[in-house]
Structure 1
Amino acid sequence: MPHCIIEYSQNLEQEVPPLDWMEAVQQACIESALFKPADIKLRAFACKHFITGGVQDAFVHVSVRMLPGRSKHQKSELSQSVLDALSRFSVKQVSLSVEIVEMDGESYLKKVIPA
């Protein structure tokens, strides 16, 4: 835990490779000290079709999905750290956003099937 889901406008791939966004988000999560590095899961999805404010402006949106147990302050600091990490890239005309989503611990299930 957590699951970090990065959605970004496909037109950004030429400016910032998806792996770079993922590494930035991962580092922010590690630096938060809320998670063990081995528990951080990341995925990135390019959006081919998008409209932001009526035009096709570039965007990156990160959802950090995690189980309950962190304070509002911890979640706020994590959100700010991820946003700061995204802001370090020299991309112009882009909307950056982050949301922390608390998963329902009673209904979340996980099963790892070994090789």
Structure 2
Amino acid sequence: MPHIIIEHSEDLPVLPQVLVEKIHNSTFESGLFDLETIKTRAIAYQQYQLGIGKEGFIHIQVHIMAGRTLEQKQMLSEHLLACLKTYCRDSDSLSVNIYDMDHDVYRKN
């Protein structure tokens, strides 16, 4: 855990695999997770519409098991947003959201 899903416009200023690696490593650097538990993937969109002045977008969903404090989740979202700002254009719409997963219903093998 966590599961990180990067949704983005296909015209990124950085290669998608590089973005996956940077976000994966940034998640580890937050100090909240062991490296071997982080799972990161990206989905490119061809069709989308953005606000005036925006060229592209990146939205990161971070799904973690419930139990982290609000402060930890805020720190993680700020940390990942700062990572995005390093590699993206000012005209890109950037966002991050942290989602709690319920221990009682999450399953994996």
Say yes or no: TM over 0.5: yes
Q: TM-score range by the shorter chain?
A: over 0.9
Tell whether the 8 Å contact from 1:79 to 1:100 is kept in structure 2 after alignment: yes
Report what 2:50 is aligned to: 52
Match of 1:17 in 2: 15
Which residue in 2 is equivalent to 1:3?
3
Structure 2: give runs of 5+ residues left out of the alignment. none
Question: In the TM superposition, what whole-angstrom CA distance separates every residue of 1:2-53 from its partner, at most 9, and x where no partner exists?
Answer: 00000000122xx210111111211221111111000000010000100112
Contiguous gaps of at least 5 residues in structure 1: none
**Match for residue 66 of structure 1?**
64
Q: Distance in 1 between matches of 2:46 and 2:53?
A: 13
Q: TM-score, normalised by structure 2?
A: 0.93
TM-score, normalisation: structure 1: 0.88
In 2, Cα distance between equivalents of 1:88 and 1:47:
21
Distance 2:84 2:71 in 1: 20
DSSP-derived class of the 1:53 partner: coil
- Please state how far the C-alpha of 1:71 moved relative to its aligned partner: 0.3
State percent identity of aligned pairs.
38
Structure 2 counterpart SS, 1:70 = coil
Structure whose alpha-carbon radius of gyration is higher: 1
- The answer on whether the counterparts of 1:3 and 1:64 sit within 8 Å (CA) in structure 2 is yes
